[in-house]
Amino acid sequence: MAAKSKFRLKAKARDSYLELIQAFPLASIKSDEHLSEAQVVMDRLLAQGALDDGAEMSLEALSDLVAAYEDAHHAIEPASDANLLRHLLEAKGITPAQLSQETGLAKSSLSEVLAGKKPFSRQMIRKLADYFRVNVGVLTVNL
């Protein structure tokens, strides 16, 4: 017996969704080969530009399945505090000395972070987040 849902796709969107599901069924990804095939399908959909509701729904579901597999089998370690700070400095085109002068953070503390000898302090995280206009969560991944 089929489960009933209040959520329904309209005719055109339903047709595109079903066509995509028939071509590439939505199921848990179990191997790297399956992952590669899913990525090809996603790339094709993304290359189309604007998608109808059915294709968009299929792409979102497939993206979730890919993310779940990658999180389980190809997890990416968070960047170190040193690498985060280097990236932020490069992106803004400033030196550690300029950052120190503009934020009031000690040059020695910044140098220790960049050398990998010291993690971000809570005070440093707040000042860096404000200065670089990034969410505090970006800088707290290693806490």
Whichever domain contains 126, its CATH number is 1.10.260.40
Domain boundary among 73, 91, 114: 73
Would you say 142 and 130 are in contact if contact means Cβ atoms under 8 Å apart? no
Mark whether 16 and 37 lie in a shared domain: yes
Domains held by the chain: number: 2
pLDDT of residue 74: 93
CA 118 – CA 136 distance, rounded (Å) = 18
66 and 31 belong to one structural domain:
yes
pLDDT score at 2: 62
Residue ending a domain, choose from 43, 73, 103: 73
Segment 11-37 shows an average pLDDT of 93
Q: What is the pLDDT of residues 38-58, one digit of tens each?
A: 999 999 999 998 999 999 999
pTM attached to this predicted model? 0.59
d(CA 89, CA 96): 7
Per the domain annotation, does 6 fall within a domain? no
CB-based contact 53:94 (threshold 8 Å): no
Rounded distance between C-alpha atoms, residue 112 and residue 114, angstroms:
5
Residue found under tokens 């170190």:
80
Is the pLDDT at 60 greater than 80, yes or no?
yes
Instruction: Write out the two tokens for 43.
Output: 């790339």
| Residues whose CB is less than 8 angstroms from the CB of residue 128 and which lie 6 or more positions away in sequence, other chains included | 85, 88, 103, 105, 120, 134, 139
C-alpha R_g of the chain = 23
Tell me the one-letter amino acid at 136. Answer: V
> What is the extent of the structural domain holding 92?
81-139
Instruction: Give the C-alpha separation, 136 to 28, whole Å.
Output: 33
pLDDT 10s digits, 72-126: 999 888 899 999 999 999 999 999 999 999 999 999 999 999 999 999 999 999 9
* Cα torsion through 28, 30, 33, 38, rounded to 10: 10
pLDDT of residue 4: 67
